[in-house]
Amino acid sequence: MGKESIHTEKAPAAVGPYSQGIKAGNLVFVSGQMPVNSKTGEVVEGDVTEKAKKCMENVLAILAEAGMTADNIVKATIFLTDLGDFGRVNEVYASYFKDSYPARSCVEVSRLPKDVSVEIEVIASS
């Protein structure tokens, strides 16, 4: 099975040895997306809800480049630096889905790149 790198200008560029996303067969693996503006490279202003929204917008931009939407997400992982933010992030996350929710993990971590408070990665299937 071959793999194909996915890249879009509508999400932040990779800042290390990784791809925004990889398509392998009918699966797309989206690298963890932080609340970063793709044009400026800066972390967006606002509270954790605004930051979670930007993470999801970045995820969806990469999926769109692969011809997919939130409906294609089968697994998500959310990383938080404060599990106390879980409820607010959960509300934002849930707003992106209509019928059934993907499988999901949410974990608290000690630190994330750029000292952001939230990062979201997904796996999608066509």
pLDDT for 43 equals 97
Q: Which residues contact 114 (CB under 8 A, 6 or more apart)?
A: 34, 36, 43
CATH of the domain at 59: 3.30.1330.40
Residue with the two structure tokens 């992030």: 89
Residue ranges making up the domain that contains 120: 3-125
Give the pLDDT mean for 31-43.
97
67-121, pLDDT tens digit by residue? 999 999 999 999 999 999 999 999 999 999 998 999 999 999 999 999 999 999 9
pLDDT for 15 equals 81
Active centre residues (catalytic): 106
Domain count of the fold of the chain = 1
CA distance 31 to 122: 7
Global pTM value: 0.97
Give the pLDDT mean for 29-57.
97
